[in-house]
Chains A and B, each alone.
Chain A
């Protein structure tokens, strides 16, 4: 375990050298949030109106939080690096090293996004406070559960992305599958809370990974109640186990197909 912590720490230290690059990424983030603030302001022409049980402030905070999760955890290591390692055969170098390739990638990923996520969280909170004001009925006592839910959401998202990238053992280009996952996440999880969707679609979304990756953590921040928190955390734990098992299964099966021809 210590070696993975070391990898994580080393990557974190490396990312500290590129704070400026991360800060420039705020421009896209800010613009996206800004577009949504304008969009929701337009739709909530009457500020006291409720849409699917959400006020204007809650709806905008929901988008800000899910966008933080989206921008703050995006990382090419989980997508491009794994695929490239498999396609180019570089993965063979990782197989004889004294670490497990998948755990190594997870440690590296966490090291890479830790600083980025904290910075985006800070920026998002500032934007939210300026444009919308404080979150209604928010209590700091809920923070431990919210942070746990955020962490679980980030881990599940990472496992799913890695499982998709590992498909490169069988197909040359797995990016179309990443696109589909990204689109599902953006459309169903980031832009709208589940309650905005038609009644018939809600149970399907609640069973999908979107519910635990983006809706769950954001919901706990903007509209907390004890039973919802338990439901979300339980669903996250189930998804965490299932996605990790699937990832390892794909990897174990795929890695047997590696064929190294010297050079």
Chain B
């Protein structure tokens, strides 16, 4: 069992390594994508500086806290898109019958699919996340917690994308729906939960689990709480298991389009 997990992890790392090498074929474009993504994220600092000029606290947080929230969002998004970029375009593979080449591989189909592409600009997101932490709230313990939470957050984001993407096994043309649901996750991630009220706040910890991706981790980074930490970990395991279950349940309904394709 342990050897199998080790082998699977090795395959994932190799897959990501080759994806990145492919992305780096054109160095200039690669570097531009990474640096422009960092600039893109940094632009939102202006938004928050303006908002904090109007009110000294927003949703119970100060500027530094919101920046760490942004760092967590960028980090989780970046890590998810570096390692599991294809999870976010799952409907396209399902609808157009592009899963065939993955079905014949000896390793996990789901993991092979989702690790088969990498977004180069997402590397910029990860770097930006760490830069933000360093500037706005650095300490060694925060660095460790930040790293832990961007890993867990990336897993939650990916699992969520797999679940909503797998809807395509049952619902025809659900591409837009899953894209929208993924966008909702990203949209809510960059605003503090304090501005939302009762029902919405409940939804952010259940149906759209942004709460476990960034809100709860931010609270733990600001005021450490072991139980809350274990809560995030338990949720991550739960949603990952659910993603596997939903994907393989849906895979039974998959029909090939006999599309001839090559994975390069």
Contacts and interface: CB of A to CB of B under 8 A. Distances in A.
A14 interface: no
Instruction: Choose among A35, A41, A175, A198 the residue with the greatest number of B CB atoms under 10 Å from its CB.
Output: A35
B42 to A, nearest CB: 9
B187 A42 contact: no
A38 B43 contact: no
Contacts of B200: 38
A173 to B, nearest CB: 5
Contacts of A41: 195
Given A24-B177, A28-B187, A38-B195, A173 B55 contact: no
A196 B26 contact: no
Interface string A10-43: 0000000000110011011001100100110111
B180 A25 contact: yes
Contacts of A35: 187-188, 191, 195
Interface string A180-222: 1001000100011000111000000000000000000000000
A198 B46 CA distance: 11
A187 B41 CA distance: 11
Contact of B33 (A43, A176, A192): A176
A179 B46 CA distance: 16
A42 B54 contact: no
Contact of A31 (B28, B47, B55, B183): B183
Interface string A66-96: 0000000000000000000000000000000
Contact of B32 (A20, A39, A173, A197): A173
B176 A21 contact: yes
A46 to B, nearest CB: 11
A17 B184 CA distance: 26
A31 B187 contact: yes
B225 interface: no
Contact of A42 (B47, B58, B176): B58
B44 interface: yes
Contacts of B39: 179-180, 183
Interface size class of A (residues with CB under 8 A): 20 to 34
B29 A172 contact: yes
Contact of A187 (B44, B173, B191, B195): B44
A51 interface: yes
Interface size class of B (residues with CB under 8 A): 35 or more
Instruction: Choose among B36, B188, B191 the residue with the greatest number of A CB atoms under 10 Å from its CB.
Output: B36
B40 interface: yes
B159 to A, nearest CB: 20
Nearest to A21: B176
A12 to B, nearest CB: 20
B146 to A, nearest CB: 24
Given A35-B191, A43-B58, A192-B50, A183 B180 contact: no
Nearest to A177: B36
A155 B117 CA distance: 36
B196 interface: yes
Contact of B50 (A38, A172, A173, A196): A196
A24 B176 contact: yes
23 contacts: A20-B173, A25-B180, A27-B184, A31-B183, A31-B184, A32-B187, A35-B191, A39-B51, A39-B191, A42-B58, A43-B51, A43-B54, A45-B55, A173-B33, A175-B33, A180-B39, A180-B40, A183-B39, A187-B46, A192-B50, A196-B50, A196-B54, A198-B53
Given A38-B197, A42-B195, A180-B40, 19 more contacts: A27-B181, A27-B183, A27-B184, A28-B187, A31-B180, A35-B187, A35-B195, A39-B58, A42-B55, A42-B194, A43-B51, A51-B54, A176-B36, A180-B36, A183-B40, A183-B43, A187-B46, A192-B50, A196-B54
Interface of B: 26, 28-29, 32-33, 36-37, 39-40, 43-44, 46-47, 50-51, 53-55, 58-59, 173, 176-177, 180-181, 183-184, 187-188, 191, 194-197, 200
